[in-house]
Amino acid sequence: MKRIIRLLLLVVLLPVQSVYSQWYSAVKLYIEREEQPDAAIFLPAPPDTASVAYIDDFVQWQWGKTIRQTERGERASRESASSTAEMARIFSEALGFKISRSETPAIYNLISRSYHTAEQASKNPKEKYMRIRPVIQYNEIPTGSSDRLESLRTSGSYPSGHTTRGMATALVLAEMAPEYADTILRRGYEYGESRIIVSAHYQSDVNAGYMCGAACVAAMHSVTDFMEDMEAARKEYYEKSGRTPSGIFSPTDGRRILPDPVDTASNRYYGDVAQYFAAKAERVTQRGAQAKADADCTLEALLTAFSAPLGKNLDLKKTPALTNLIRVAREALLSNADALGVTVQFRKRPYVQLGEAPFAGGTDDKGKSSFPSAESEIGWGIALVLTEIAPDHANEILQLGFRIGESGMISGQHWATDITAARILAACMVARLNADILFKKLLNAAKDEYFLLTSLN
């Protein structure tokens, strides 16, 4: 009798197991966890409750509480769900047509593989730091419809896994569909913001998630499967949308992606000021001297700086393709930052706002907006581009890109929130550049040059 029951169970369960196996095997990661950039290395530790950086976390936690009973709060609660299907639903709204396994198989496949690859990107720092989530820290009841207290209690808060996956998906789709890039990227930003509203994460967790997602996507560009899937999805997108590629490059518009910068009437300004004075204390140290050097974002200075993590001496004669790529990327990132900066002239630089002399940077910076930080956008953007070329040196490259942003706060040129915004904008701009035919040619030439140089060593 037992044998008959086992046979019956086998007959019933075998089709289910087969379907599950097919589904699981279909979701093949572009990059395994151990081969991805490690955010436990290229990002700093999260702020603790005694840190001045925690002020912004606390203020934003309070802000999130005021949003929970609104329509935006209800959406944040729904967005606690996290899956390929949820990504397809959210970004269907942004693209204007339904994404599904049956109707858009190529796009769905790109989302699925990118999502599951990015799912691995936040695990190392989560396990390393095991930061307590705000919902646990303040003894709250989870308001995310899919969040469970025990799961939140036993998993690390830093960085936000939801944000990592959401931003990675947004960056991939923005590259696929440049005509809708700003709308897609805004939804990616808001998906991370939702985690603050439901108290599942602090602001610094979400900020780290944006960077984790961007680093993961950059590394995916070194994988042939990803590039082939991207082309297949792009072809399907143009067929589905009825659009045709314009061939005209248009940069991302930060006003459509990012919220307004912090002003002096905002509670977040207290966090900016506190972090500024903490960073200012480092000016008399070796880190202060490094910050002063990092303020030089000329092409020559960038070539010198990124030569070290790449392990190659970058200059026009020895590495013309890499040099040209960095030059074009720098100009595009700087122009993008300046275009947003002229729209928010009220955001004064810290040393100007506080009546101090500049520690680094030119005197012509005095009248320029502090938001966003051009140096941070350039540093982080070039780090992402070079990660596409040399994923084997990703951690060192991304550490440098991150450091350039932090240097802007030490030097008094930028507030902390200006630097975070610039890094998000940099990732968005790189996604836009990756969709440009001319930039892709420069990128491929630089990859070939790097491969040749590496093979000769």
Annotated catalytic residues are 162, 195, 201, 205
CA 317: distance to chain centroid? Answer: 33
Residue in the structure block whose two tokens are 């507030």: 415
For residues 170 and 153, give the distance between their C-alpha atoms in angstroms, rounded to a whole number: 28
Is 253 in contact with 370 (CB distance < 8 Å)? no
Q: Please work out, in degrees rounded to the nearest 5, the angle formed at the alpha carbon of residue 353 by the alpha carbons of 379 and 282.
A: 55
For residues 330 and 299, give the distance between their C-alpha atoms in angstroms, rounded to a whole number: 8
Residue among 348, 107, 53 nearest 241 (CA): 107
Radius of gyration of the chain (CA): 23
Q: With the CA atoms of 169, 170, 172 and 174 taken in that order, what torsion angle do they form, in degrees rounded to the nearest 10?
A: 160
At 51, list the tokens. 């840190």
Tally of CB atoms within 10 A around 87: 27
Residue among 390, 322, 242 nearest 398 (CA): 390
Residue among 109, 110, 88 nearest 99 (CA): 88
Q: Please work out, in degrees rounded to the nearest 5, the angle formed at the alpha carbon of residue 48 by the alpha carbons of 43 and 53.
A: 70
For residues 394 and 391, give the distance between their C-alpha atoms in angstroms, rounded to a whole number: 5
For residues 207 and 198, give the distance between their C-alpha atoms in angstroms, rounded to a whole number: 16
Find all residues with CB under 8 Å of 176, minimum gap 6, and list them: 107, 110, 230, 233, 234, 237, 435
- Helix (H) / strand (E) containing 416: helix 416-434
Find all residues with CB under 8 Å of 211, minimum gap 6, and list them: 39, 43, 159, 380, 402, 423, 427
Phi/psi at 160 (nearest 5 deg)?
A: -75, 120
Locate all alpha helices (DSSP H) within 132-281, ordered by sequence.
Answer: 134-137, 149-154, 161-176, 181-197, 203-220, 224-241, 254-257, 268-280
CA 272: distance to chain centroid? Answer: 21
At 106, list the tokens. 């190529």
